[in-house]
Amino acid sequence: MSQKATTKKNKDGWVRRGKCRRCGICCQGDKLTPGPSQDDKYIQEFIRIIGTDCPHLVFNSENKAECDIYLNRYPECWVFPNKPEDLDLVNGPCGFYFVKKP
């Protein structure tokens, strides 16, 4: 779960826009759906870390997802989603989307 938008281009020129809506879906492996990006090593590591349900995921009194190691979360968590295909894994609307930069 990444919470901030970024203006940094990934290697394919995609720039992430939007904001995490803290649904927590991307921290629950059993809620992720297969997608084309599962062939990607970064995504495979992300899925391995989460397992079926990441033990660091908690929900606050407003049912918003929080990470109990937020500032020390795994490198893969800082950047997810990193490209449009990663959104295919989220079984629900993610708050992020991507635009292509020349």
Residues of the shown chain interacting with ligand SF4 in the complex, contacts defined by CB under 6 A: 1-2, 20-27, 50, 54, 56-57, 65, 67, 69, 73-74, 77, 90, 94-96
Q: How many CA atoms lie within 13 A of 75 on its CB side?
A: 2
Alpha carbon distance 66, 33 (integer Å): 21
The residue among 41 and 82 lying less far from ligand SF4, judged by its C-beta, is: 82
Taking the CB of residue 49, how many other CB atoms lie within 10 A of it?
16
What is the closest distance, in whole angstroms, from the C-beta atom of residue 12 to ligand SF4 in the complex? 19
The residue among 38 and 102 lying less far from ligand SF4, judged by its C-beta, is: 38
What is the closest distance, in whole angstroms, from the C-beta atom of residue 77 to ligand SF4 in the complex? 3
Alpha carbon distance 72, 8 (integer Å): 21
What is the closest distance, in whole angstroms, from the C-beta atom of residue 102 to ligand SF4 in the complex? 26
H or E element in which residue 43 lies: helix 41-50
